[in-house]
Amino acid sequence: MSKSLLLHALSLNDRILEPKRLPLHGRVWGYAKEECSRDGFIGHCLTMLSELGMTAGGISLSNKDVVAFDAQGKGRTYTVVISLADDSLASRYFYFLGIWRHMDVFGKAASLPELSSESDTLHADFQYEAYFSDAPLQYDACDKLIAGEMFAQQLYEGQIYLYGNDQMKNGEAAGFVLAPLINSTSLPREEVQHALYSLRNLMALRAQVMRIYRKVWDSTEETDLYGEAMNLLRQSRLEKVEPAEWDGMVCDSGDSMLRLSELSYQRSRLQGEIHNLSMLFESIIGELKAANQPGMSALWPRMRLPFEHATDLLDERTGMLRRTGKQCEIILQLLHSRMLARQQVVLDRLAGVDKVSD
Protein backbone atom coordinates (compact mmCIF):
# COMPACT_ATOMS: atom_id res chain seq x y z
CA MET A 1 0.00 0.00 0.00
CA SER A 2 2.87 2.41 0.74
CA LYS A 3 3.89 2.14 -2.91
CA SER A 4 0.40 2.85 -4.26
CA LEU A 5 0.28 5.78 -6.64
CA LEU A 6 -3.18 6.79 -5.37
CA LEU A 7 -4.59 7.46 -8.81
CA HIS A 8 -7.46 9.46 -7.36
CA ALA A 9 -5.12 11.97 -5.70
CA LEU A 10 -3.61 15.11 -7.16
CA SER A 11 -0.21 14.49 -5.60
CA LEU A 12 1.84 11.58 -4.34
CA ASN A 13 2.19 13.41 -1.01
CA ASP A 14 -1.54 13.19 -0.50
CA ARG A 15 -2.97 14.42 2.79
CA ILE A 16 -5.40 11.65 3.64
CA LEU A 17 -7.91 13.02 6.12
CA GLU A 18 -9.30 9.82 7.58
CA PRO A 19 -8.21 8.40 10.96
CA LYS A 20 -6.58 4.99 11.29
CA ARG A 21 -6.88 3.84 14.90
CA LEU A 22 -9.43 1.02 15.20
CA PRO A 23 -12.20 0.47 16.08
CA LEU A 24 -13.83 3.54 14.50
CA HIS A 25 -17.24 5.03 13.98
CA GLY A 26 -17.69 8.12 11.85
CA ARG A 27 -19.99 10.18 9.69
CA VAL A 28 -18.99 12.22 6.66
CA TRP A 29 -20.93 14.97 4.91
CA GLY A 30 -20.19 16.39 1.45
CA TYR A 31 -21.37 19.84 0.32
CA ALA A 32 -21.27 20.94 -3.31
CA LYS A 33 -18.98 23.90 -3.87
CA GLU A 34 -21.36 25.18 -6.53
CA GLU A 35 -24.04 25.63 -3.89
CA CYS A 36 -22.18 27.29 -1.01
CA SER A 37 -19.26 29.61 -0.42
CA ARG A 38 -16.15 28.81 1.56
CA ASP A 39 -17.20 31.14 4.40
CA GLY A 40 -20.73 29.75 4.33
CA PHE A 41 -19.42 26.22 4.72
CA ILE A 42 -17.14 27.19 7.62
CA GLY A 43 -20.04 28.88 9.37
CA HIS A 44 -22.19 25.81 8.79
CA CYS A 45 -19.55 23.50 10.29
CA LEU A 46 -19.29 25.60 13.43
CA THR A 47 -23.08 25.70 13.73
CA MET A 48 -23.33 21.95 13.30
CA LEU A 49 -20.68 21.27 15.93
CA SER A 50 -22.53 23.57 18.30
CA GLU A 51 -25.81 21.75 17.66
CA LEU A 52 -24.05 18.47 18.36
CA GLY A 53 -22.92 19.86 21.71
CA MET A 54 -19.24 19.84 20.79
CA THR A 55 -16.70 22.34 21.97
CA ALA A 56 -13.27 22.93 20.47
CA GLY A 57 -11.37 25.87 21.86
CA GLY A 58 -8.71 27.78 19.96
CA ILE A 59 -9.57 26.38 16.53
CA SER A 60 -8.92 28.73 13.62
CA LEU A 61 -10.04 28.01 10.05
CA SER A 62 -8.66 31.17 8.48
CA ASN A 63 -6.12 30.66 5.69
CA LYS A 64 -6.29 26.88 6.06
CA ASP A 65 -7.58 24.31 3.61
CA VAL A 66 -7.66 21.30 5.93
CA VAL A 67 -8.22 21.33 9.67
CA ALA A 68 -8.30 18.33 12.00
CA PHE A 69 -8.88 18.69 15.72
CA ASP A 70 -10.35 16.99 18.76
CA ALA A 71 -13.68 18.22 20.10
CA GLN A 72 -15.38 17.42 23.37
CA GLY A 73 -19.05 16.50 23.56
CA LYS A 74 -21.05 14.85 26.34
CA GLY A 75 -17.92 13.57 28.02
CA ARG A 76 -16.49 12.05 24.86
CA THR A 77 -13.71 13.05 22.51
CA TYR A 78 -14.36 13.24 18.78
CA THR A 79 -11.99 13.83 15.89
CA VAL A 80 -13.35 16.49 13.55
CA VAL A 81 -11.98 16.92 10.03
CA ILE A 82 -12.96 19.93 7.92
CA SER A 83 -11.72 19.99 4.33
CA LEU A 84 -12.06 23.11 2.21
CA ALA A 85 -9.55 21.87 -0.37
CA ASP A 86 -7.50 18.70 -0.11
CA ASP A 87 -5.49 16.64 -2.56
CA SER A 88 -8.32 14.33 -3.59
CA LEU A 89 -9.87 14.95 -7.00
CA ALA A 90 -13.29 14.85 -5.35
CA SER A 91 -12.28 18.06 -3.56
CA ARG A 92 -12.85 19.84 -6.85
CA TYR A 93 -16.57 19.35 -6.32
CA PHE A 94 -17.18 19.18 -2.56
CA TYR A 95 -16.33 20.52 0.84
CA PHE A 96 -16.11 17.77 3.45
CA LEU A 97 -16.96 17.53 7.12
CA GLY A 98 -16.10 14.35 9.00
CA ILE A 99 -16.73 13.46 12.63
CA TRP A 100 -15.02 10.34 13.94
CA ARG A 101 -14.78 8.57 17.26
CA HIS A 102 -12.43 5.86 18.40
CA MET A 103 -14.43 3.25 20.33
CA ASP A 104 -12.98 1.38 23.28
CA VAL A 105 -15.18 -1.59 22.38
CA PHE A 106 -16.68 -1.92 18.91
CA GLY A 107 -20.46 -1.70 18.74
CA LYS A 108 -21.01 -0.54 22.32
CA ALA A 109 -23.94 1.89 22.04
CA ALA A 110 -24.12 4.77 19.59
CA SER A 111 -20.79 6.54 19.58
CA LEU A 112 -21.80 9.63 17.58
CA PRO A 113 -24.34 12.28 18.63
CA GLU A 114 -27.41 12.75 16.47
CA LEU A 115 -28.46 15.96 14.77
CA SER A 116 -31.95 17.20 15.58
CA SER A 117 -34.51 16.57 12.86
CA GLU A 118 -35.46 20.25 13.26
CA SER A 119 -31.99 21.36 12.25
CA ASP A 120 -31.90 24.07 9.59
CA THR A 121 -28.25 23.52 8.78
CA LEU A 122 -26.92 23.53 5.23
CA HIS A 123 -28.18 20.61 3.18
CA ALA A 124 -25.50 18.02 2.43
CA ASP A 125 -25.35 16.61 -1.09
CA PHE A 126 -24.38 13.26 0.36
CA GLN A 127 -23.58 11.73 3.71
CA TYR A 128 -22.61 8.34 4.97
CA GLU A 129 -21.88 6.55 8.20
CA ALA A 130 -18.97 4.14 8.51
CA TYR A 131 -17.98 1.59 11.13
CA PHE A 132 -14.54 -0.02 11.06
CA SER A 133 -14.18 -2.99 13.38
CA ASP A 134 -10.89 -4.18 14.83
CA ALA A 135 -12.01 -7.81 14.68
CA PRO A 136 -13.89 -10.05 12.22
CA LEU A 137 -17.69 -9.63 12.25
CA GLN A 138 -20.51 -12.04 11.54
CA TYR A 139 -23.17 -11.15 8.99
CA ASP A 140 -25.80 -10.57 11.69
CA ALA A 141 -23.61 -8.03 13.47
CA CYS A 142 -23.18 -6.04 10.25
CA ASP A 143 -26.87 -6.29 9.43
CA LYS A 144 -27.76 -4.60 12.73
CA LEU A 145 -25.59 -1.62 11.85
CA ILE A 146 -26.78 -1.14 8.26
CA ALA A 147 -30.34 -0.21 7.34
CA GLY A 148 -31.89 -1.69 4.21
CA GLU A 149 -30.54 -4.32 1.87
CA MET A 150 -26.87 -5.11 2.37
CA PHE A 151 -24.20 -5.63 -0.29
CA ALA A 152 -20.56 -6.62 0.10
CA GLN A 153 -17.05 -6.60 -1.38
CA GLN A 154 -13.68 -7.95 -0.35
CA LEU A 155 -10.83 -5.42 -0.34
CA TYR A 156 -7.06 -5.81 -0.58
CA GLU A 157 -7.30 -9.39 -1.80
CA GLY A 158 -9.58 -10.43 1.05
CA GLN A 159 -7.84 -8.69 3.96
CA ILE A 160 -10.86 -6.43 4.60
CA TYR A 161 -14.56 -7.03 4.13
CA LEU A 162 -16.75 -4.07 3.16
CA TYR A 163 -20.51 -4.20 3.71
CA GLY A 164 -22.82 -1.40 2.62
CA ASN A 165 -26.31 -0.37 1.61
CA ASP A 166 -27.54 1.78 -1.24
CA GLN A 167 -29.27 4.52 0.76
CA MET A 168 -28.62 7.76 -1.08
CA LYS A 169 -32.12 9.03 -1.74
CA ASN A 170 -34.03 11.86 -0.07
CA GLY A 171 -30.99 12.93 1.93
CA GLU A 172 -30.59 9.59 3.67
CA ALA A 173 -27.15 8.53 4.84
CA ALA A 174 -25.50 5.53 3.24
CA GLY A 175 -24.11 3.01 5.70
CA PHE A 176 -20.91 0.97 5.59
CA VAL A 177 -19.19 -1.54 7.84
CA LEU A 178 -15.57 -2.57 7.35
CA ALA A 179 -13.96 -5.47 9.17
CA PRO A 180 -10.66 -7.35 8.87
CA LEU A 181 -10.55 -10.97 7.81
CA ILE A 182 -8.69 -12.01 10.97
CA ASN A 183 -7.86 -9.12 13.31
CA SER A 184 -6.55 -5.59 13.11
CA THR A 185 -3.11 -6.39 14.51
CA SER A 186 -2.10 -7.81 11.14
CA LEU A 187 -3.72 -4.96 9.20
CA PRO A 188 -1.45 -2.03 8.24
CA ARG A 189 -2.83 1.30 9.40
CA GLU A 190 -2.15 2.73 5.95
CA GLU A 191 -4.72 0.34 4.52
CA VAL A 192 -7.27 1.35 7.16
CA GLN A 193 -6.79 4.98 6.24
CA HIS A 194 -6.67 4.31 2.52
CA ALA A 195 -9.89 2.26 2.60
CA LEU A 196 -11.78 5.08 4.34
CA TYR A 197 -10.21 7.69 2.06
CA SER A 198 -11.20 5.69 -1.02
CA LEU A 199 -14.73 5.27 0.29
CA ARG A 200 -15.07 9.05 0.66
CA ASN A 201 -13.85 9.59 -2.89
CA LEU A 202 -16.14 6.91 -4.30
CA MET A 203 -19.13 8.45 -2.55
CA ALA A 204 -18.18 11.94 -3.72
CA LEU A 205 -17.74 10.92 -7.37
CA ARG A 206 -21.05 9.09 -7.23
CA ALA A 207 -22.74 12.12 -5.69
CA GLN A 208 -21.36 14.42 -8.39
CA VAL A 209 -22.80 12.15 -11.08
CA MET A 210 -26.14 12.22 -9.28
CA ARG A 211 -26.00 16.03 -9.27
CA ILE A 212 -25.43 16.04 -13.02
CA TYR A 213 -28.28 13.57 -13.49
CA ARG A 214 -30.73 15.70 -11.49
CA LYS A 215 -29.69 18.86 -13.34
CA VAL A 216 -30.28 17.28 -16.75
CA TRP A 217 -33.45 15.49 -15.62
CA ASP A 218 -34.97 18.75 -14.33
CA SER A 219 -34.11 20.63 -17.52
CA THR A 220 -36.85 21.12 -20.13
CA GLU A 221 -34.56 22.72 -22.73
CA GLU A 222 -34.53 19.73 -25.08
CA THR A 223 -38.30 19.27 -25.06
CA ASP A 224 -38.82 23.04 -25.38
CA LEU A 225 -36.60 23.22 -28.44
CA TYR A 226 -38.28 20.20 -30.01
CA GLY A 227 -41.71 21.74 -29.38
CA GLU A 228 -40.62 25.02 -30.97
CA ALA A 229 -39.27 23.18 -34.01
CA MET A 230 -42.53 21.27 -34.49
CA ASN A 231 -44.53 24.50 -34.13
CA LEU A 232 -42.37 26.20 -36.77
CA LEU A 233 -42.85 23.20 -39.05
CA ARG A 234 -46.64 23.49 -38.75
CA GLN A 235 -46.51 27.23 -39.44
CA SER A 236 -44.31 26.77 -42.49
CA ARG A 237 -46.86 24.38 -44.00
CA LEU A 238 -49.75 26.84 -43.83
CA GLU A 239 -51.14 27.80 -47.24
CA LYS A 240 -51.36 31.51 -46.49
CA VAL A 241 -48.38 33.11 -44.82
CA GLU A 242 -47.87 36.86 -44.67
CA PRO A 243 -44.45 38.28 -45.63
CA ALA A 244 -43.84 39.49 -42.07
CA GLU A 245 -44.59 36.00 -40.80
CA TRP A 246 -41.95 34.55 -43.12
CA ASP A 247 -39.37 36.88 -41.63
CA GLY A 248 -40.46 35.91 -38.12
CA MET A 249 -40.22 32.20 -38.85
CA VAL A 250 -36.76 32.58 -40.37
CA CYS A 251 -35.56 34.51 -37.30
CA ASP A 252 -37.15 32.00 -34.89
CA SER A 253 -35.62 29.08 -36.76
CA GLY A 254 -32.18 30.67 -36.70
CA ASP A 255 -32.52 31.37 -32.98
CA SER A 256 -33.51 27.75 -32.35
CA MET A 257 -30.49 26.52 -34.30
CA LEU A 258 -28.14 28.69 -32.22
CA ARG A 259 -29.66 27.49 -28.94
CA LEU A 260 -29.56 23.92 -30.22
CA SER A 261 -25.86 24.22 -31.01
CA GLU A 262 -25.07 25.64 -27.56
CA LEU A 263 -27.12 23.01 -25.73
CA SER A 264 -25.56 20.21 -27.79
CA TYR A 265 -22.13 21.48 -26.76
CA GLN A 266 -23.15 21.59 -23.09
CA ARG A 267 -24.52 18.05 -23.18
CA SER A 268 -21.39 16.81 -24.95
CA ARG A 269 -19.26 18.31 -22.16
CA LEU A 270 -21.41 16.60 -19.53
CA GLN A 271 -21.03 13.28 -21.34
CA GLY A 272 -17.27 13.74 -21.23
CA GLU A 273 -17.40 14.63 -17.54
CA ILE A 274 -19.47 11.54 -16.73
CA HIS A 275 -16.97 9.41 -18.63
CA ASN A 276 -14.02 10.91 -16.75
CA LEU A 277 -15.73 10.49 -13.38
CA SER A 278 -16.51 6.89 -14.26
CA MET A 279 -12.87 6.21 -15.18
CA LEU A 280 -11.76 7.74 -11.89
CA PHE A 281 -14.32 5.64 -10.00
CA GLU A 282 -12.99 2.48 -11.63
CA SER A 283 -9.37 3.41 -10.88
CA ILE A 284 -10.19 3.68 -7.18
CA ILE A 285 -11.86 0.28 -7.23
CA GLY A 286 -8.74 -1.08 -8.91
CA GLU A 287 -6.54 0.33 -6.14
CA LEU A 288 -8.71 -1.38 -3.53
CA LYS A 289 -8.00 -4.75 -5.19
CA ALA A 290 -11.64 -5.63 -4.75
CA ALA A 291 -13.32 -8.99 -5.25
CA ASN A 292 -16.86 -10.24 -4.78
CA GLN A 293 -17.98 -11.68 -1.48
CA PRO A 294 -19.29 -15.25 -1.98
CA GLY A 295 -22.96 -15.63 -1.20
CA MET A 296 -23.73 -11.88 -1.25
CA SER A 297 -24.72 -9.35 -3.89
CA ALA A 298 -21.81 -7.15 -4.93
CA LEU A 299 -21.70 -3.54 -3.74
CA TRP A 300 -19.83 -2.00 -6.67
CA PRO A 301 -22.56 -2.62 -9.29
CA ARG A 302 -25.04 -0.84 -7.01
CA MET A 303 -22.70 2.11 -6.60
CA ARG A 304 -22.17 2.25 -10.37
CA LEU A 305 -25.90 2.68 -11.10
CA PRO A 306 -25.86 6.51 -11.08
CA PHE A 307 -23.15 6.46 -13.75
CA GLU A 308 -25.26 4.16 -15.91
CA HIS A 309 -28.45 6.17 -15.38
CA ALA A 310 -26.69 9.47 -16.12
CA THR A 311 -25.13 8.05 -19.29
CA ASP A 312 -28.50 6.72 -20.49
CA LEU A 313 -30.24 10.03 -19.76
CA LEU A 314 -27.63 12.07 -21.61
CA ASP A 315 -27.76 9.66 -24.55
CA GLU A 316 -31.53 10.12 -24.64
CA ARG A 317 -31.31 13.91 -24.49
CA THR A 318 -28.58 14.14 -27.14
CA GLY A 319 -30.72 11.89 -29.34
CA MET A 320 -33.59 14.34 -28.94
CA LEU A 321 -31.27 17.19 -29.87
CA ARG A 322 -30.19 15.36 -33.03
CA ARG A 323 -33.84 14.89 -34.03
CA THR A 324 -34.54 18.54 -33.32
CA GLY A 325 -31.53 19.54 -35.42
CA LYS A 326 -32.84 17.53 -38.38
CA GLN A 327 -36.26 19.15 -37.98
CA CYS A 328 -34.67 22.61 -37.98
CA GLU A 329 -32.74 21.78 -41.15
CA ILE A 330 -35.95 20.62 -42.83
CA ILE A 331 -37.74 23.79 -41.71
CA LEU A 332 -35.00 26.04 -43.09
CA GLN A 333 -35.05 24.19 -46.41
CA LEU A 334 -38.84 24.38 -46.53
CA LEU A 335 -38.85 28.08 -45.69
CA HIS A 336 -36.22 28.73 -48.34
CA SER A 337 -38.15 26.75 -50.97
CA ARG A 338 -41.47 28.43 -50.19
CA MET A 339 -39.92 31.89 -50.19
CA LEU A 340 -38.31 31.19 -53.58
CA ALA A 341 -41.61 29.87 -54.88
CA ARG A 342 -43.41 32.99 -53.61
CA GLN A 343 -40.83 35.22 -55.28
CA GLN A 344 -41.29 33.29 -58.52
CA VAL A 345 -45.06 33.79 -58.35
CA VAL A 346 -44.55 37.54 -57.88
CA LEU A 347 -42.08 37.63 -60.79
CA ASP A 348 -44.51 35.73 -63.02
CA ARG A 349 -47.27 38.17 -62.16
CA LEU A 350 -45.03 41.11 -62.94
CA ALA A 351 -44.04 39.49 -66.22
CA GLY A 352 -47.73 39.03 -67.05
CA VAL A 353 -48.46 42.68 -66.32
CA ASP A 354 -45.62 43.75 -68.63
CA LYS A 355 -47.04 41.64 -71.46
CA VAL A 356 -50.50 43.17 -71.04
CA SER A 357 -48.98 46.64 -71.10
CA ASP A 358 -47.24 45.85 -74.37
Beta-bridged to residue 83, according to DSSP, are 66, 96
Instruction: Return the beta strands (E) in the chain as ranges.
Output: 24-32, 66-73, 76-83, 94-102, 126-132, 151-155, 160-164, 174-180, 291-292
Where does the pLDDT of residue 207 fall: very low under 50, low under 70, confident under 90, or very high at 90 and above? very high
Which whole number is the average pLDDT over 16-32? 85
- Please report the pLDDT score of residue 171 as a whole number: 56
Lowest mean pLDDT among 39-48, 167-176, 211-220: 167-176
Give dist(CA 327, CA 321) in Å, integer. 10
Contacts of 97 (CB under 8 A, 6+ apart): 28, 29, 31, 45, 48, 80, 81, 82, 83
Share of the chain above pLDDT 70, in %: 78
- Higher per-residue confidence, 242 vs 196: 196
Whole-model pTM: value is: 0.84
Lowest mean pLDDT among 26-35, 44-53, 105-114, 160-169: 105-114
pLDDT digits (tens, 9 = 90+) for 271-286: 999 999 999 999 999 9
